[in-house]
Amino acid sequence: MNTIGTGTLHTVQKAAITADVAALLQDTVTATSVVVDSVTAASFDAARGTSAPSTAQVSTTGWMSDLALREIVESGGAYQAGDRRLLVPSADFTTAPEVGATFRAGSDRYAVLTSELDPLGLFYELIGRRT
């Protein structure tokens, strides 16, 4: 396992951690193929009074898990049983996935409740609820 020294993270250490995280997120035993759909823009047709969102799809692999009961309880009602955590490599995205995006794993679709970039910028943590 990699250890982080005091002070600034050395580029060699970050490269080693990045490789470890990438390997975990793409591991054929534990990784899941997912598609993340994000709204990138919306166009408005004034004549018809309608709008249409433009979406970007990112196909990637990630690591999905259930939320722990402790996390659900501590969320103060924001999370529910059945909500899932998805970790995906940030390098696969040109723009950050946001709340309102969706992700699909197989035939299951989830609405993104929260989206956070980890402190090293290696992966996004998405919390989703089945729709």
**How do residues 25-40 score in pLDDT, each as one tens digit?**
777 777 899 999 988 7
pLDDT above 70 covers a percentage of the chain that reads: 94
pLDDT of residue 21: 81
- The CATH number of domain 31-130 is 3.40.630.190: no
Q: Which residues contact residue 36 at a Cβ distance below 8 angstroms, ignoring those fewer than 6 apart?
A: 57, 58, 60, 88, 93, 97, 101, 102, 103, 126
Query: How far is Cα 97 from Cα 34, in angstroms, rounded to an integer?
Result: 13
CA neighbor of 104 nearest in space, from 40, 52, 66, 58: 58
Residue 12 pLDDT > 90: no
The domain ranges of the chain are: 31-130
| Mean residue pLDDT across the chain | 87
**How do residues 51-85 score in pLDDT, each as one tens digit?**
877 788 999 999 999 999 999 999 999 999 999 99
Mean pLDDT over 44-52 rounds to 83
CA neighbor of 32 nearest in space, from 8, 11, 62, 75: 62
